[in-house]
Structure 1
Amino acid sequence: MITRRTHVALLAASLFLSGCGGGAVASTESAPPPSREPSRTPASPEISVEVAPQQIPGLGPRTRAKIPADARQAVVVTGRGRDSPVSTVVLYERTAAGWRAGASWPAHNALKGWSDHHLAGDLRSPIGVYTLTDAGGLLKDPGTKLPYDRGVGFTSPGTGFEGEPLAGSFDYVIAINYNRQPGTSPLDWTRPLGAGRGGGIWLHVDHGGPTHGCVSIAEKHMKELLLTLDPDLRPVVVMGDAKSLAG
């Protein structure tokens, strides 16, 4: 029987190649004649104000409709442009009053930007809303509530598109459930849409340049994300260029 650890080791090399929101009516009644009785001032009508739930800014109706109703955490990745590798990440948490934003973090996405039909090797990150269920890394579990797979399969050798070293990029990763089987190691190679549609799309540690398809943020922010995400809150990632997300 092939154990999960053995399976992880066999898939490590293949993974590296995959990249990574009334008015009042005046009365028409005439004034009464003078009277000895005390005047009566009509009471002001009570006004009921209903506050609409706060929506995540920048998301249009089609994008919002894709967020599951039970999702209470949303990692929103907003790309600078369709063909840009630069983006920002904000973690939102749903409260009784609506979605509350956390800090805004600088990030990188794929070298050539974004695609709504991601293909293997196109050097674009997939646009969409995806669940987040599994994590892992080369370093030990920092204390996340997500299932965490640690192993040497998360080694990232070589250099990036701008000549920057990739070492440490996979120290912490969170698998984005695009074309993968949820509930498995981020290293799992199962591709429900087929290998041609790519995979191995992660949130991982930033190496200072564009990615093959993943989204990368600073190590301290990856660690914070891992400590904050809670599977009981059904976390998702909402990702794409600003114009696409506004649709």
Structure 2
Amino acid sequence: MPIRGAKRTTAVAAVLGALVMPLAACGGPDGGDGKKSDGRAGGGARPEQARTVDLKRIPGVGDRLQRQIPAGSRQVVAVYGQGEDSADSTIVLYTKSGSTWDRTRSWKGHNGKKGWTTDHREGDKRSPVGVFTLSDAGGVLADPGTELPYTQSAGFQAPHHWAKSHWHDFDHVIAIDYNRVKGTSPNDPTRPEGRSKGGSIWLHMDHGSGTSACVSLSESGMEYLLRTLDPDRDPVVVMGDKAHLKA
């Protein structure tokens, strides 16, 4: 089990070698539609603030996925994809107080360039539908004050032969625990279910359009999540297009 608040150091040379596959999984030279941006999402729009509404369950999530949320989880990042083949999504943080959930904060963001899938494969440009734990974080920049184990390394840097709009994608990342080993750096290339199932699925900073499979949101959103997610609250992400989430 990761030590609460632990910080990791990683040899840059080793990480650079390990990042060949992760970077391919999480980014690309453009956003999938050739559009460029300044590397920051949201165009300066402010995130939606908390709503004083108590919920008995996560809205828009059907019984199948609702049952997969651990009983002890008190933080859920819900990613609502606009459609099965859409790269646009809304990210909402829910926090449990007592027996009810509060809609804490939300942001506009993106998912895979080609949308969503229930059978993710390496290189399919679709984000996996499901419920996944959030255990580890890292990035090019220093830890902004997270309780998650955080690995800072230049090895997260996106290659500069990519479009400039992507250079800051991995300044901060949170690993989505899909086909990875918990308790390791997000850029650990180990794939327990094999490489064909893909991996290196992260929450990371947005470049204005779709990703290779990750979920992206604004710099301020990433920093907020990093400062708010708490291992003691068993944070998870529930993600998918709206139809699959409701199923």
Please report the TM-score for the alignment, with normalisation by the length of structure 2.
0.82
Alignment RMSD, CA only? 1.7
Aligned to 1:157: 159
Q: Is the 8 A contact 1:85 1:109 kept in 2?
A: yes
Aligned to 2:80: 78
Aligned to 1:42: none
Q: 5+ residue gaps in structure 1? A: 21-51
Q: Is the 8 A contact 2:19 2:189 kept in 1?
A: no
Aligned to 1:17: 24
**What is the CA-CA distance between 1:18 and the residue it aligns to?**
2.1
Aligned to 1:126: 128
Bigger relative contact order, structure 1 or 2, given CA contacts below 8 A and separation 6+?
2
Amino-acid identity (%): 49
**What SS does the aligned partner of 2:101 have?**
strand
2 CA distance for matches of 1:111 and 1:53? 31
Q: Is the 8 A contact 2:77 2:93 kept in 1?
A: yes
2 CA distance for matches of 1:164 and 1:65? 41
Relative to structure 1, the CA distance from residue 159 to residue 4 in structure 2 (aligned partners, 3 Å threshold; closer, same or farther) is: closer
Please report the TM-score for the alignment, with normalisation by the length of structure 1.
0.82
Q: Is the 8 A contact 1:157 1:165 kept in 2?
A: no
Q: Give the total of aligned pairs.
A: 212
1 CA distance for matches of 2:192 and 2:161? 30
Deviating 4+ runs (over 6 angstroms): none
Aligned to 1:172: 172
The one-letter code matched in structure 2 to 1:128 is G
- Structure index of larger Rg: 1
Aligned to 2:230: 230
Q: 5+ residue gaps in structure 2? A: 1-8, 28-53
**What is the CA-CA distance between 1:4 and the residue it aligns to?**
4.5
2 CA distance for matches of 1:89 and 1:101? 11
Matches within 5 A, 1:97-246: 97-158=99-160, 165-246=165-246
1 CA distance for matches of 2:109 and 2:161? 18
Q: Is the 8 A contact 1:164 1:209 kept in 2?
A: no
**What SS does the aligned partner of 2:90 have?**
strand
Aligned to 1:31: none
Aligned to 2:34: none
